[in-house]
Structures are given as structure tokens and as C-alpha cells.
Amino acid sequence: MINVDVRGDTAIFEVQGWDKLWSFKSSLEIPLAHIKNAYNDPNCAIKWFDSIKVLGTSIPKIFRAGSFLQHGDLVFWDVHNVKNTIVVELEHEHFAKLVIEVEDPAVTINLLNNTINNSNK
């Protein structure tokens, strides 16, 4: 699971618990200007053959954490429970998007989208 916080003009995505080990990351700091959109994706499937693991851990239909090459883009995953999954689309970053599990998808999506919309004004 990921905790998301906004500090100034940066979104902090902090990896929790053992997922730091599985994903080889403890946190990601993304400038708000590089976040295009955040949306809920409870139908996000953790499939066996939809990506190539670059650095991380994947157990099909159970969890995925780390960096994966997916449809030609590098994507960061940290998902156990797909019902709490959000997608954060990025630009000008190492990752094209983050597919992450959060405690409350609606609250996190509102936080990110409202913050990036207000920072673009």
C-alpha cells in the first residue's frame, strides 16, 4: 500500500511495510506539474503476461510491486487489493504511470486532482 501526501509543489508517494522490499522503493517524489491525472481503476487486473518485470516482485492474481515494462512504458506498481487501486498518469518522469493501492481511493484521487488543478491556475 502507498500513503500519498502533498508537500508544497510535490506529491510524495510513500511505500508502506514489506512492499518497500518487494518493490525496491521506499518512496517516490513527483512534482505536481508532472501529474496529468489520477483516477480509480478497480478493474485493474494483475495478470501474468501483460508486462515484463524490470525490478520488483509479482505473484499473478495476488500482488505486484516494483517496476514493470507495460505496453512500451515503464510503470510502477504496488497493488495487493485491486479494489483500492488508482492510476496516476505522469509526464516528464521515469515512470509513465503509477498503479498503486491506497487506503481510500476517492480521497486520494480528490487530493491529487484538486491539487494539480489548483497548481495549474
**pLDDT tens digit string along 101-116?**
999 999 999 999 999 8
Does residue 69 contact residue 50 with C-beta atoms inside 8 Å? no
Q: What is the pTM of this model?
A: 0.88
- Region of poorest pLDDT, from 22-26, 83-87, 116-120: 116-120
Instruction: For the chain, give the mean pLDDT.
Output: 87
Please name every residue paired with 75 in a beta bridge, in sequence order, or none if there are none.
68, 97
- Region of poorest pLDDT, from 17-31, 51-65, 81-95: 51-65
Does residue 85 contact residue 99 with C-beta atoms inside 8 Å? yes
Nearest-angstrom CA–CA distance, 25 and 19: 8
Question: pLDDT band at residue 49, thresholds of 50, 70 and 90?
Answer: low
Nearest-angstrom CA–CA distance, 16 and 59: 18
Nearest-angstrom CA–CA distance, 36 and 69: 20
pLDDT at 20 over 70: yes
